[in-house]
């Protein structure tokens, strides 16, 4: 009996999320999510960067002397393993002019900008023009977010990024800002792997995160 219960529980964890579920942040007790960072332990993530656990439980990136730009890929915050369908949910905080990004479906960790896709994280609060792919929530080289849901620098934002087959969905601060078929709109010179690696960018600027969790499927 115990083995049957365990098997049923495992099946529940991999039940696909509905189309509507993907367009909102997951509940705190949503099934199937694995905590990647709980405020105390960084062992479920990989990085050579200067990401330090803070007294309040947040994870702060403080670039060391000489660390500039975004091409130091091993300094990114990498999720071990590879993911096809997934939902990753996290909170982040930037300073004025802050810049980072969520990379997914990366074929390798050598150059995620070449082999994967990036959801832009940028201080776009107050921007009134039509958002481009380099503004907050844009999919780089693909399309801009449908609305500006950014909070001011210094405040905590929440983002959920999901892939279901070729469908990509981005929810920012309770607003669904991306929902489309990535294969149909991706750049012609870029592949869309069925699975890939996931990372948070180290852009050589102060940046903080907390409550990072992920769900496969």
Note the pLDDT of residue 12: 47
Distance CA(99)–CA(169), nearest Å, equals 20
CA torsion 93-190-72-127 (nearest 10°) is -30
Note the pLDDT of residue 8: 42
Note the pLDDT of residue 18: 63
- Please tell me whether the overall predicted TM-score, pTM, comes out greater than 0.85 for this model: yes
CA torsion 216-28-40-35 (nearest 10°) is -10
Largest interatomic CA distance in the chain: 60
DSSP three-state, residue 181: strand
Domains and CATH numbers, the chain: 2-216 (2.60.120.560)
pLDDT for 178 beyond 70: yes
pLDDT for 186 beyond 50: yes
In the chain, % of residues over pLDDT 70: 91
Cα distances (angstroms) measured from residue 128 to each of 11, 106, 123, 147: 45, 32, 13, 10
Are residues 16 and 217 in contact, defined by beta-carbon separation less than 8 angstroms?
Answer: yes
Cα distances (angstroms) measured from residue 179 to each of 21, 41, 139, 201: 12, 33, 11, 22
Note the pLDDT of residue 36: 98
Note the pLDDT of residue 14: 52
Are residues 52 and 39 in contact, defined by beta-carbon separation less than 8 angstroms?
Answer: no
Q: Are strands 86-94 and 77-83 parallel, antiparallel or unpaired?
A: unpaired
pLDDT for 15 beyond 90: no
Which of 42-46, 111-115, 137-141, 164-168 is predicted least confidently?
A: 111-115
87's CB contacts (< 8 A; 6+ apart) are 17, 22, 26, 33, 160, 161, 162, 214, 215
Note the pLDDT of residue 117: 98
Q: What is the pLDDT of residues 88-143, one digit of tens each?
A: 999 999 999 999 999 999 999 999 999 999 999 999 999 999 999 999 999 999 99
């Amino acid at each position: 009996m115990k083995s049957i219960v365990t098997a049923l529980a495992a099946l529940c964890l991999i039940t696909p999320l509905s189309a509507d579920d993907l367009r909102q942040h997951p509940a705190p007790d949503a099934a199937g999510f694995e905590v990647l960072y709980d405020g105390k332990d960084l062992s479920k993530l990989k990085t050579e960067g200067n990401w330090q656990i803070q007294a309040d439980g947040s994870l702060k990136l403080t670039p060391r002397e000489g660390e500039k730009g975004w091409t130091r890929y091993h300094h990114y915050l990498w999720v071990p393993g590879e993911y096809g369908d997934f939902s990753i949910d996290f909170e982040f905080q930037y300073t004025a002019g802050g810049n980072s990004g969520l990379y997914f479906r990366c074929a390798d960790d050598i150059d995620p900008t070449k082999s994967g896709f990036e959801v832009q994280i940028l201080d776009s609060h107050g921007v009134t023009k039509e958002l481009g792919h380099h503004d907050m929530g844009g999919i780089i080289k693909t399309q801009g977010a449908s609305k500006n849901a950014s909070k001011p620098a210094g405040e905590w934002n929440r983002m959920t990024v999901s892939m279901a087959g070729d469908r990509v969905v981005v929810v920012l601060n309770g607003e669904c800002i991306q929902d489309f078929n990535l294969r149909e709109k991706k750049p012609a010179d870029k592949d869309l792997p069925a699975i890939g690696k996931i990372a948070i960018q180290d852009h050589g600027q102060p940046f903080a995160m907390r409550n990072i969790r992920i769900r496969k499927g």
